[in-house]
Amino acid sequence: MTERYQNYIDGSWTDAETGDTLETTDPAAPSETVAEYQESGVEDANAAVEAAAAAEDEWAETPAPQRGAILRETATILADRKEELTDLLTREEGKTHAEAGGEVQRAIDIFYYYAEKTRDLGGSVKSASGPRTNLYIKDEPVGVAALITPWNYPIAIPAWKIAPALATGNTLVLNPASVAPGVALEIFDALDEAGLPDGVANVVTGPGSTVGDAIINHEDVDAVSFTGSGEVGHMVYDQATNDGKRVQTELGGKNPTVVTDSADVEEAAEIVANGAFGVTGQACTACSRAIVHTDVYDEFVDAVVAQAESIEIGPGDEYDMGPQVTESELEGTLDYIEVAENEGATLATGGNEPEGDRFGEGYYVEPTVFSDVDNDFRIAQEEVFGPVLAVIEVEDFESGLEAANDIDYGLSASIVTDDHTEAERFVDEVESGVAKVNDKTTGLELHVPFGGFKQSSSETWREQGDAGIDFYTIEKTVYDSF
């Protein structure tokens, strides 16, 4: 039986005023409907923002540890439901069971983390220059937050926006991507069960061009947090800043791993393959460029091809790599594969839709490796968002670092080397918000800042850790003389 979801507005589950619904399907078996959602409109979005605005003062005045208790209980409820949430995420987004379970656990951990952070909120005390004066800084919530999230991490990204917003006393409205919104709505079910007051957190499903636009532009919204494509993100940034709103955007990536001549080639190939083909390459931090020293280039290509060919493709509950999330995402990846071949890159492995009974009509593509790629090829400059790796040959460390930075994006980057001096230089000089040594470009700790440089971010505010708290708070300096 198809699960049916409603909007959550002012503490109640309600149908959209439009009367319209939308369905999600299993990307491994597109003829199978997973769930039905509300295809909401502007009226629903406005109602959600109005509910958040009405609840703003009371929630801000709630002692932070009490807010934390609700977040802690939410985490416990999500943990109790981890297996069913994992199954829903796999069926709706296509991740493998292991990948989906890891993402659900991350969301749980995020709520636990920010629950504990509430004990330390409030501000700081400073020494005044004169006598009989208390000088302190008081941290206050920004107000109502509009949150727009993508489909590729459908529970982790909402969690790392929702939890710090609520911990710091803000109210919010979430518009999750329509492709896989189920696990995000389950967060609100858990918040409701945990005792969150009415109106504090609201979620409205429906097109971002309608619902997202309405909440971003609503006069009662004070802050906007967006994760998604660069094209949409730049429009969101312009809209929000034109209205004087606080805004953060996290956008795309074209992430390199530099492999030096001192690297263990087999280890490097495994690191790159995990970063390139994990979550079917559908991560903004996925490794899509391997920049390899000429002395180990041929050996590396052979090794990473072997890694790619060892990956078993199929439905996420049984295999190593699942399908792409939609037919349009698959078509986009196949288009880039054709572009790469036309540019003159060598297709070393993959590049096709696999055939066989287990694939059915699913949106599958083989893990794909291109060699003989120039760094100015489109396949090396544009975000593919699929399991496609471009391998670029360079003469030395200097040219490798130059190639890594010769890109409009700057989200995540890594180096594989046994030379500590090279590692230190890479960390100092690479133009990316995340820099890793002897590790894959994907994978993030939840208690440190996350964000990009250049076209990967608005470069305004970071997410996660204390940076997540910073975005949702504003400082008031108090001089108390008596």
Contact 59, 187 (CB under 8 A): no
In this structure, the strands spanning 123-126 and 133-141 are antiparallel
The position carrying tokens 């008031």 is 476
Single-letter code of the amino acid located at 434: V
Q: Which helix (H) or strand (E) holds 258?
A: strand 255-259
* Both tokens assigned to 478: 């108090």
Contact 382, 409 (CB under 8 A): no
* Both tokens assigned to 330: 């698959």
Determine how many CB atoms are found less than 10 A away from the CB of residue 342. Answer: 11
For 125, phi and psi rounded to 5 degrees?
-110, 135
Determine how many CB atoms are found less than 10 A away from the CB of residue 32. Answer: 12
Contact 444, 464 (CB under 8 A): yes
Q: Strand order of the sheet with strand 473-481?
A: 123-126, 133-141, 473-481
CA 441 to centroid of chain Cα atoms: 14
Determine how many CB atoms are found less than 10 A away from the CB of residue 205. Answer: 26
Catalytic residue among 142, 155, 284, 348: 284
Q: Is 284 an active-site residue?
A: yes
CA 109 – CA 115 distance, rounded (Å): 10
CA distances from 380 to 271, 344, 408 (A): 19, 12, 11
Contact 166, 71 (CB under 8 A): yes
Helix (H, G, I), strand (E, B) or coil at 128: coil
CA 86 – CA 430 distance, rounded (Å): 36
CA 329 – CA 313 distance, rounded (Å): 17
Determine how many CB atoms are found less than 10 A away from the CB of residue 479. Answer: 10
Contact 150, 325 (CB under 8 A): no
CA 337 – CA 352 distance, rounded (Å): 9
Helix (H, G, I), strand (E, B) or coil at 369: strand
Instruction: Report the first-to-last Cα separation within the chain, whole angstroms.
Output: 68
User: Minimal CA–CA distance to 289: which of 364, 396, 401, 366?
Assistant: 401
* Both tokens assigned to 441: 């470009």
Q: Catalytic site residues?
A: 284
